[in-house]
Structure 1
Amino acid sequence: MTGAKKLLLASLALGFIGGYVDTVGFVALFGLFTAHVTGNFVLIGAELSRASANSVLLKLLVFPTFIAAVALARLVALRCERTKTVASRPLLVMQTVLLLVALVCSVPAGAALAPDAPWAMATGLFMTAAMGVQNAAGRLAWPALTPTTVMTGNVTQVVIDSVDLLRGAAGPEVRDRLKRFIWPVVAFAIGALSGAFAYAGWKFWSLLLPLVMLVGLVVMDVRSDHKA
């Protein structure tokens, strides 16, 4: 498989994982965004405005957790630079381990979840840390990779390029960019739908699917020098 094809496959897989994990967290953990963490600002405001507000501690803790995960990913990437090794595989392994720990924490959490229950909070925070690493890896390990966790910018670019394509003003660069941006959006949407149905059927065991996909990406070893 060529480098470009590997990068496209990684973009699709990570886009799917981004939508899938974000939806599992939202459905299971009282509206928690684990990938699109800034969305929690809206939810915090909505909760605090209600007379019978639920605990917002978990949503508040995701911000330092996300920051810590990104900072740790940066340190790992810097160490890889010093040792002249590729950062993509270590970062994927880190994300896999964090998501696996989230799954382990979900077992004692059980079905009786509450917004401030310790094991439920641990599950959400480790899911957030895993997605923080994915956010960081897109910048640190694969500079040519389209963003795979927050789709607003991707959708905006797809619409702009589609308009240019329809009016006959799209050159090769625009066409190439449209191909790169549209597939992660599609994969994210499919992942979000799949995550909702998977959690309904298998609860947190649904996280096994993205874990298997991450292991597959680790084995495939998409290198940062592969260009789209």
Structure 2
Amino acid sequence: MQAENLGANSLPQRLITVLAFLAGYVDTFGFVGLFGLFTSHVTTNFVLIGANIVGQGQGVLLKLSAFPAFIAGVAVAKCAVEFSVRRGVSAERAIYVLQAVCLSFMMFAGLAALPVHSADSAAVIVAGLFGAIAMGIQNGHSQLVLAGKPLTTTMTQNITLGVIDAIEAMMGRGAETKAAARARFADTLLPVCGFAVGAIVAAIAWVQASFWALLFPVTLLAILALRASTEACAVGE
């Protein structure tokens, strides 16, 4: 699915930054609230599983279950986009609503698990599953709707490209090449900063409000869904 067909090229840079903030928030929230679970960087969970096996940390089942849940989230995003395109409705709106629903279930399951003592409790695992599904949906969103834009969930590639563009901006041949590199660098720098801020805010929010703090990203996604719906109506969907 080409991004042009879904109107991705008209998306403002601030939206990419907001989504990166959300990813940093949820990923950090899962880590501090669910025994070191990474809801977005699911391959990192394999490292933690290895550590768990030799007695470092806990929650092997939780981290193992996050991988198929993440895959399911990507599949859900793909199906939602295909269904939306066939019906001629906003794919973005569907993505945001689905992600908000999953994060709501993560919040309710987490609240049911309180006080959290065991990584193997059913409520904790359910919370982790829905968190991984939510971030799988956002990862799918990055590839399906935001193709060609900086990633909103994993910052390693953005940082790598940012370093390359920074060097190109200083050492590139020709003014146009340097200007293009500077523009790309700015595009990648903002989501990296957004992700970092989201991570810090999530850690503070967890301490202050526990799983209730997930109301913040749920509300943020609801606003984005409303925005996508309003824009779709404006273009005569």
TM-score, normalized by the shorter chain, greater than 0.5 = yes
User: Match for 2:101: what amino acid?
Assistant: V
Q: Distance in 2 between matches of 1:64 and 1:4?
A: 31
Aligned position for 1:61: 65
Aligned position for 1:47: 52
- The percentage of aligned residue pairs carrying the same residue is 38
8 Å contact kept, 2:35–2:58: no
Question: What TM-score do you get using the length of structure 2 for normalisation?
Answer: 0.87
Change in 2 beyond 3 A, CA 1:91/1:57: same
Aligned position for 1:78: 82
Structure 2 counterpart of 1:20, from 8, 25, 28: 25
Shift of 1:192: 0.7
Give per-residue Cα distances to partners, 1:171-207, cap 9 Å, x unaligned. 3322221121110000000111111111011111111
Q: Describe how 1:87-106 pairs up with structure 2 within 5 A.
A: 87-106=91-110
User: Root-mean-square deviation (CA), in Å?
Assistant: 2.0
Aligned position for 1:162: 166
Asked if 1:172 is matched to 2:191, the reply is no
8 Å contact kept, 1:198–1:206: yes
8 Å contact kept, 1:113–1:120: no
Aligned position for 1:10: 15
Change in 2 beyond 3 A, CA 1:10/1:113: farther
**Runs of 4+ residues over 6 Å off in structure 1:** none
Q: Secondary structure at the match of 2:12?
A: helix
Unaligned runs of 5+ in 1: none
Q: Describe how 1:97-116 pairs up with structure 2 within 5 A.
A: 97-116=101-120
Structure of greater relative contact order (alpha carbons < 8 Å, 6+ residues apart): 1
User: Match for 1:200: what amino acid?
Assistant: V
The answer to which structure has the higher helix fraction is: 2
Change in 2 beyond 3 A, CA 1:55/1:12: closer
Q: Distance in 1 between matches of 2:52 and 2:88?
A: 47
Question: What TM-score do you get using the length of structure 1 for normalisation?
Answer: 0.90
8 Å contact kept, 1:88–1:142: no
Give per-residue Cα distances to partners, 1:25-56, cap 9 Å, x unaligned. 00111110001111101000111122x76340
8 Å contact kept, 2:35–2:59: no
Q: Distance in 1 between matches of 2:24 and 2:195?
A: 4
Asked if 1:213 is matched to 2:210, the reply is no
